[in-house]
Structure 1
Amino acid sequence: MDIYIKEAVIHQFSPEDTELVLADKLLTITPKIEEYLRKKIERSYSDEAKTGQLGADSPFLDYLSDDLLASSITIANLWKEEFSVSENLKTNDLVFVRFEKNGVEQFAFLRISLRENLVHVGAESDSPLKLTQNNLPSAGSAPDEALILNLQTHKYHLIEKRIKYNGTFLNYFSDNVLQDSPAISAKKSIKAVEQTAQKIAENFNQADFQFQSKVKSAIFNHLEEDNELSPEKLANQLFDNNLTARLSFVDELKDVIPEKVSFEEIDSSRQLKKFENQKLSLSNGIELIVPTTIYEDAESVEFIQNDNGTYSILIKNIEDIKSK
């Protein structure tokens, strides 16, 4: 991912008086700061990010201009009005960044919750540790909230956390700040695929361990080969011999996944890792971990259903065995 940080500014939100400490100039971008911001932005393209595209008439686009400092102040004040009603307020840095990704202009808003940390500050034997305030989390951790907006296409990635207000949880950022309805995250989309497939399989008496493994294999293969998930393609693979089941699967997913789930700009490595192995727990206490690519190979693993209803697992062509 080719990211070039161009400009950045940081404002701070204080929970004590629910006010903003506004910067009056842009941040000086040192190599360490550039690395920190770049890693935070990279973590925002995650499978937990919701996605969408702002229309030409979006009010949020009116807040953006070529003056990053002015734009950031406008958006920070709007954010504060919506966020400050939360019942659990902490000190936050509000980071606004203008950057290029693969040569295309992007805008980023990052909310980073600050921490209290113990640090070793002196040589005094009785009290060398001090509690420090307003510490930034490590560069490798994801921001608490993030909006990454492509300034050319107006497509966006959004990591948002609901706030609690009067006993109700609100998607305050997408509803009130961004004023848009994003699609659910890739992570939740995959969970919906698994749950819907299991439900349809149960309705048609197919919900055994082999079907569950088939679902995992299908998701893994589609992500690895296509970098996307299509409900229609999955339906054809999972319920190839049952037209009614295929149609039911696609129809039930429409409310959650109107279109295919694309990993075009999203890091799919966590999902691939999740599905790269088949994990089986047997009734006799044996547990098996089989790579998905081998699991599907009949020359390597064979599942046999015996006449008495039990199963046998035949593992073939093993060249070497080691004890771990």
Structure 2
Amino acid sequence: MNDIIIDKAILHILDTSIGSPVLADKLMSFSPQADEFLKIHIARAMEDGDIKKGGFKNSDASVQEHSESCSPDTFDTEGFKRAISNLEPENFIIVSQQLAQNIFELALSNPAIPAADVLICHFKYDNGIYFGLLKFNYKQSYIHHFAMVGDEKETGIIQQNATIANESQKLDEFAFIRLDDFSVLIKEKKYEINGGKEFYLSNRILNVTTDLSPKTKVKIVEKAAEKVIKEYYGEDPLRVSQLKTELKSCVDENSIVEIDRITNAVFDGNFSAQQRYKDEVAQKGISGRAFEVTSEIEKTVARKQKITTDTGIEISLPVDYLENQKKIEFIMNDDGTMSILIKAVNIR
């Protein structure tokens, strides 16, 4: 795990059930436990498969409605960059309060946006200095209750509606802005605003444009290939196995998925299918020829392939088996059906 040094942080309470935010006026005093808690969440967030890369929109074309309760304002992108780059505590507190107020007002008028504690910080990670916004959306949990009733002890279970994510839970929403180049890393969810769902954190709070997340891109690569395989080759588990194997190899070798490499491996020699695949991937939003994946994706991508027969039999196979004829063999029968021979296994 990369070293994380938290320079300063402040926590604002955005509980829409009480009608007004609790905006802190002082920086957090960090205990060792709080410091470790925040570092764990930052480290996990940096490797989240749903994280998206982004950048600020041009300031001369940036009109942003900070919240439904405010009239539309011109979002001063350059001013915002200067504000979050100012490491002085007094300025940091003011900027954090303004961001928290904007989020609260938007959530207050749009109940689908979860109430939360918002933690804003400056921290160092991987030789960069970041301005971070971590939104700890409230979750329901239960705790014990104890009271004295006369001389008798009474216990019970009560519901807590404003608890935040623990160390083992992933955050649904956060944004990290690297201060040397103002690149943005963001994870967000769509919520209903004015009758339609949208990404409010990037569109209405920070005014940034974003790329697709690595997890979304991997799904596009897989689904597009499976679609084109079906169009050109029908139900062909061998082609699908080539897709899974090549995708796993890309990720394991250098954490980069190369579109051309997968295209050539899966649709070798079929130029029409290759072009159809590239068009399908581009249409779904992948514009480049390669993209990086996070360590979270590396652990989960294409480790198994499930084969389902027309009679409902399901076979789940490790990807490493698919092209190893010592382990498994796909045999095309004269009648157009396929036999699957699984070799040298112990039954347990």
Same fold (TM over 0.5): yes
User: Is the CA contact 1:218–1:234 (under 8 Å) kept in the aligned structure 2?
Assistant: yes
User: What is the distance in 1 between the residues matched to 2:328 and 2:113?
Assistant: 54
In structure 2, the residue matched to 1:261 is 291
Report the secondary structure of 2:174's partner residue.
strand
User: Which residue of the partner structure matches residue 243 of structure 1?
Assistant: 271
**Structure 2 CA distance for partners of 1:291 and 1:117, relative to 1, 3 Å:** closer
Match of 1:160 in 2: 188
Structure-2 separation of matches of 1:141 and 1:127: 29
1:224–1:113 Cα change, 3 Å: same
> What is aligned with 2:131?
107
Cα drift, residue 155 of structure 1:
2.2
Deviation at 1:293, TM superposition (A): 1.6
Q: CA deviation at 1:28?
A: 1.1
| CA distance in 2 between partners of 1:285 and 1:206 (Å) | 18
Amino acid in the other structure paired with 1:164: E
**Counterpart for residue 147 of structure 1:** 175
TM-score (norm 2): 0.82
Question: Alpha-carbon deviation of 1:305?
Answer: 1.0
Preserved CA contact (<8 Å) 2:83 2:95:
yes
**What is the one-letter code of the residue matched to 2:287?**
P
Amino acid at match of 2:182: H
Distance 2:308 2:226 in 1: 18
- The 2-side partners of 1:286 and 1:164 are apart by 41
Paired residue type of 2:304: N
Q: 1:48: how far off?
A: 1.0
The one-letter code of the counterpart of 1:254 is: A
Distance 2:313 2:139 in 1: 44
**Offset of residue 25 of structure 1:** 0.7
TM-score by length of 1: 0.88
Q: Is the CA contact (8 Å cut-off) linking 2:16 and 2:107 kept in structure 1?
A: no
- Tell me the C-alpha RMSD between the 2 structures: 2.5
**SS of the residue 2:210 aligns to:** coil
Cross-structure match for 1:298:
325
Report the equivalent of 1:189.
217
3-state SS of 1:152 partner? coil
C-alpha deviation, 1:56, in angstroms: 8.3
Structure 2 residue aligned with 1:50: 52
Note closer, same or farther for the CA distance 1:162–1:283 as it changes in structure 2 (3 Å cut).
Answer: closer
2:15, 2:117 within 8 Å by CA — same for their partners in 1?
A: no
- The amino acid of 2:276's aligned partner reads S
Stretches of 4+ aligned residues off by more than 6 angstroms? none
The partner residue of 2:87 within 55, 66, 85 is 66
Match of 2:346 in 1: 321
Equivalent residue for 2:233? 205
Distance in 1 (alpha carbons) for counterparts of 2:122 and 2:224: 40
- C-alpha displacement of 1:111: 0.9
**Is there any run of 5+ residues in structure 1 with no aligned partner, and where?**
none
Which of the numbers 172, 177, 180 marks the counterpart of 2:208? 180
- Cα deviation digits, residues 68-100 of structure 1 (max 9, x gap): 322212222333344433232543101012111
* Residue 133 of structure 1: how far off its partner (Å): 4.8
Distance 1:267 1:28 in 2: 32
Contact 1:198–1:207 (CA<8 Å) still a contact in 2?
no
CA–CA separation in structure 2 for the residues paired with 1:280 and 1:90: 40
Q: The residue matched to 2:155 in structure 1 has which SS?
A: coil
Q: What number of residue pairs does the alignment pair up?
A: 318
Gaps spanning 5+ residues in structure 2: where? Answer: 60-76
The residue aligned with 1:34 is 35
